[in-house]
Structure 1
Amino acid sequence: MLIVDKKSFNIGLGLLISFLVVLALMLSPVIDGKTILIYSEDLFNSLTKGSTYQIPAVEKSAEKFAGTSFSVSVKAADAAEGEQIAKVYGSAGADVKVDSNKVDISGDLGKISLAALKDADALFNGRVDELKGAYGMDGKEVIYCWYGGFKALNKQYKLDAKSSEMSFTGNVMSKALEPAYNFEGIKPVKVREKMGVTGFLLTFYVIYTVWFGFAVMYLFEGMGITATAAKKKLEA
């Protein structure tokens, strides 16, 4: 290996070695038995969950659909799942009819939505025993059943060009059921509660990325490898 600029090469080598030392530290369990990377991932997941809590707002919008009747058919994966869907919707007061893996559901959109949102709130906030006691099912299974029905409803409202109902059922799925299911088991945290450590980590990740870039740049300079723009040829 030919070194044409020893000073630049040594700077690059020093930056690369220090970069790897910090990386080794980040991969060590130094924060409550967790690596810095895992701690950061958990923190950002908690911050994301804390910023997605919109269930109360969706509950408020459900009030105007009280008395709005609906009827929809849901196709489950199998007969067992069909029975689960029927149990969840039936417990909320809907009329259900099961035929193998097909479930026909009818009821009051406002009333059913509030029941679904209540269960989503329970899972989102870690009250899994509440759902287990009510349905004898895992919390995520309950929300999955709710989601199947609302997905079918949303699709039907789209076909029927009922924009208000379509928008509302879409919000129930995206702002309540999906966050509750996807963030199950994660403790929600507000950004203001972790402002200091969040700011530090974001700043550190930017600096750490630039750190590696400069290490490579100086190493290449030390070996005489530089990027130059191609010269244009003059045409006669």
Structure 2
Amino acid sequence: MSKSENRKHMILGLSMGVVFFGVLIAMFSPIFGKGMNALEFSDQLFNTIAKGSTEYIPGLQKQVAKFDGKTFDLTLHFHSGTTEGHEGINVKADEVAAKASVLLGTVADVELMGEQLKVSGDMGRVLTAVLQDSADMFENRGQIVSDKYGMDERMVMFMWWKALKELDKELKIQGGRDNVAMAKFVDTVVKKGVEVGYNFYGIAPEKASDRAGILSFSLVFYVVYTLWWGMTIFYLFEGCGLAMSAGRKKEV
């Protein structure tokens, strides 16, 4: 390849590189939506679409009826420190027990014993309350949840999460067919009720079909932008005199 062609490819590669990094800088600038960069905007977009396609709670509210009249009598043991998935929250066991007693005390009999909480009652009634709070959070009605217990709505869901985790553990320790069945459903309520309500709180739901245009643009942009960088590297190598050529077959 001649020097003039190398120079031409180098200029083309450098020009494409300037465009690539110019777009990259723009993507990290707070010019999308309400002061967000491209990554934050796309994260919010996919969260709204994910919420629009997530409808676990109504189904769980129908299933919980099979646990009406199923009683339990357990002692929950709480521990101080951080919890997996909530590393930013450092809690004290006695405070968790006290707050959990406020929640559980509205639907069951509770006895607070320092870092432990003795709870007895109807499992159906308890899980109905949990799912109602989860539904309110999912529908962004956090004030209702906050007013009900006199604490921050996110803290309410975190306390339900902590209490149900311990409830699940103690049911499994007690054993028996009924307890195992209750433990399994409690775990489902945690994952598809409490966690869903907590994680999607404050997000407006949207259907993918309503945002088909921007979703298509995002996909096309990702492909083109990736190929653009690949061609940039290709032309820069060409400009440096590095080119791919077919190998010669040796004659024997």
Specify the SS of the correspondent of 1:20.
Answer: helix
Matched, 1:105 2:122: no
Distance 1:168 1:225, change over 3 A: farther
Mapped to 2, the partners of 1:226 and 1:73 lie a distance apart of: 72
TM-score (norm 1): 0.86
Task: Give structure 1 stretches of 5+ with no counterpart.
Answer: 230-236
Matched, 1:183 2:197: no
Q: Which residue of the partner structure matches residue 47 of structure 1?
A: 49
Q: Which of 98, 108, 129 is equivalent to 1:83?
A: 98
1:107 deviation in Å? 1.2
Q: Which of 179, 187, 191 is equivalent to 1:170?
A: 187
1:218 deviation in Å? 2.1
1:51 deviation in Å? 2.6
Mapped to 2, the partners of 1:106 and 1:195 lie a distance apart of: 50
Q: Which of 152, 156, 177 is equivalent to 2:166?
A: 152
Mapped to 1, the partners of 2:223 and 2:70 lie a distance apart of: 51
Distance 1:169 1:226, change over 3 A: farther
TM-score (norm 2): 0.81
Matched, 1:193 2:210: yes
Q: Which amino acid aligns with 1:54?
A: Y
Mapped to 2, the partners of 1:65 and 1:103 lie a distance apart of: 22
1:226 deviation in Å? 5.7
Mapped to 1, the partners of 2:217 and 2:125 lie a distance apart of: 45
1:72 deviation in Å? 2.6
What pairs with 1:1-236 in structure 2 (closer than 5 Å)? 5-28=6-29, 29-76=31-78, 77-91=92-106, 93-159=107-173, 160=175, 162=177, 163-225=180-242
1:153 deviation in Å? 2.4
Distance 1:99 1:13, change over 3 A: same
1:227 deviation in Å? 7.5
Q: Report if the CA contact (8 A) 1:27-1:36 is conserved.
A: yes
1:49 deviation in Å? 2.4
1:65 deviation in Å? 1.0
Mapped to 1, the partners of 2:242 and 2:120 lie a distance apart of: 71
Mapped to 2, the partners of 1:108 and 1:117 lie a distance apart of: 15
Q: Report if the CA contact (8 A) 1:27-1:37 is conserved.
A: yes
Q: Report if the CA contact (8 A) 2:112-2:118 is conserved.
A: yes
CA deviation vs aligned residue, 1:36-71 (integer Å, no higher than 9, x gap): 332222111222222333100111111111111122
Specify the SS of the correspondent of 2:151.
Answer: coil
Q: Which amino acid aligns with 1:96?
A: V
Q: Which amino acid aligns with 1:17?
A: V
Task: Work out the number of aligned pairs and report it.
Answer: 228
Q: Report if the CA contact (8 A) 1:74-1:148 is conserved.
A: no
